Structure 1
């Protein structure tokens, strides 16, 4: 498996106070199985679909309790303080965790863009990231949700070399491209979002039936936040898990409507 190009979403994990409850929920909703929980690695536990790693769940460090949220990691050739981490600071972002080597798995840091969006950076070692994407249970897409889109629109292309294009229509939505491939979206948070909801990255997981996945989620105590709704990209819904982490599920095979036009910007 080749290492993902710089700026490509390459991994996702989330902190949960109750790891067993998280395993039960996501195993039921997305069909995940789980590897061994290693005390030597802080309880970090990988999730699998068909034997391929697709995400991870982890218990909180002291002071992290009650803050469940999915974190998307963007690939870096060099995550060190002299490379990607330096660009993050130069462009007005903050480092929440300085670059740290994780055994021989790779090097990571946690950062926040100038508008408050938290994300991770991953320089691959033996752990190259997602082993499967765009199949049921696996990651397929993510969107930066922010109330200050102009900050994210300047920050992410400057740090990761994205080209930007604006979707035509009433919704303020931008897409970041690497080469010919769209890798990340950016959506302006409107008044439909409660004021207490912070900016975040919404991670999408693929399912073979959106409505059935929503039903499985609510059966296990999840909350439907939006949808299910049809789109040219697939039928999707936004769900909150019982511990407060928000994510989306999407059936990529059920599409409706014409693809929106785009206009290059920047």
Structure 2
């Protein structure tokens, strides 16, 4: 990630992180090869693509015409992990980075300028990676929010401890207008924005596990019509299936990035 990383912004945006803050606002994938990444996700998820002004290594993925995600073929060039990362809207990138560091988290990149905003790539104190975005949100954000083509879940060591960390960073459950609401449901923490469920946090991940799939991490979920068909197609195009049920599958793409496909509409 550097000053050419794809941002959650477009050129005609009217929504900004001043009015939408603390909530997930975008997801982005770092890859090594844009062409094979496009081919994989076009086959598995039916995505189409449009270029962005940042250059030939960057694309916006569309699902039924709605922007879904950013793709950046920079992992090999900048020694970055191939991975899906959620981004959260913040009013001030500098303030959010300071809050993360004060609470035991770490900064990988930034804050850096990505006109018309600023971004940073961070990790919480259990090692789960996430991004922040300050500024205008991309064209089509209201449609993305309504359609919820992407949903995120944090698998972490202690859901309640994680909720405190993120709540202090993002002003969750504060008295500020427009802040996200936090609900405790059994052993799970549910995050709501304007009444809609936008993320979940669940306990059980192990910090020192040799298998990275069970270490603390944010998992990106995409809504699909046929989970089994997506799993078969992923394998046919060089990916793998980590788990499969009737309504959900955890997959790895052809470069190893992990994501989930699901038919579940209730978040």
From 204, 222, 229, the equivalent of 1:205 is 222
Q: Could you tell me how far apart the structure 2 residues matched to 1:27 and 1:133 are?
A: 22
From 210, 219, 238, the equivalent of 2:236 is 219
The residue number in structure 1 matching 2:40 is 25
The residue number in structure 2 matching 1:11 is 26
TM-score, normalization by structure 1: 0.79
The residue number in structure 2 matching 1:2 is 15
The residue number in structure 1 matching 2:73 is 59
Provide the alpha-carbon RMSD of the alignment: 2.7
1:105-133 deviations in Å (ceiling 9; x for gaps): x2111111111111000123363674525
Q: Could you tell me how far apart the structure 1 residues matched to 2:169 and 2:48 are?
A: 35
1:174 aligns with 2:184: no
From 64, 68, 78, the equivalent of 2:92 is 78
Alignment of 1:1-266 (within 5 A): 2-3=15-16, 5-36=20-51, 40-41=54-55, 43-60=57-74, 62-64=77-79, 67-79=81-93, 81=94, 83-104=95-116, 106-125=117-136, 127=138, 130=141, 131-133=143-145, 135=147, 139-163=149-173, 164-168=182-186, 172-178=187-193, 180-190=195-205, 195-197=210-212, 198-229=215-246, 235-252=247-264
- Give, in angstroms, the shift of residue 151 of structure 1: 4.0
CA distance 1:69–1:134, shift in 2 (3 Å): farther
5+ long unaligned stretches in structure 1:
230-234, 260-266
- Give, in angstroms, the shift of residue 178 of structure 1: 3.8
Q: Could you tell me how far apart the structure 2 residues matched to 1:111 and 1:103 are?
A: 19
Q: Secondary structure at the match of 1:132?
A: helix
